[in-house]
Amino acid sequence: MKNNILKISVLVMFFIVLSEKISFLNIVFGLLIAALVTTFNKEELRINRYMKVKLLSKWIKFIATLFIEVVKANIQVAMITLSKNMDVEPVIVTYKSVLKDEFLLTVLANSITLTPGTMTVDIRGNNLLIHCLNKEYSKGLANMDMEVMLCGIEGELNG
């Protein structure tokens, strides 16, 4: 029961983050949906392994870095969009990640997709197929701080 309350709480917070506004109705609706998902979900949500107190500071640092990267990319894409000659040369690149953990690899892929100007199209093993708005963005994939942080989390998990 205690585990279900934790799952429901996490799902409700996620729902509220995605909502346009925080209102009593949204909270009640989020609770209802989270309770239904938790009740009818036969398979365990295997995120407990990643939600440990010793990893909290690393996750906070990762989320802060992701937020900063999203803001920077928004500014870059806005500058391209507002310029007279849109310097866009779309390219699809394959990025080989050093991450072994499937969940953390998925977090990386979704983080890339959240960042404007890039989108993860496919994951094949440790290879991410990424669509970039221009060649400059594909060069930026070479030294991703987010992947380094996720590697730190993976290292902490594997001891």
105-145 pLDDT per residue, tens: 999 999 999 888 899 999 999 999 999 988 888 787 887 88
Question: Which regions of the chain are under pLDDT 50?
Answer: none
pLDDT value for 126: 92
Domain locations in the chain? 2-45, 49-158
Tokens of 46: 């295997």
Tokens of 4: 């279900």
Q: What is the DSSP string of 86-97?
A: -----EEEEEE-
The structure tokens 């107190």 sit at 53
Report the distance separating Cα 133 and Cα 77, nearest Å. 9
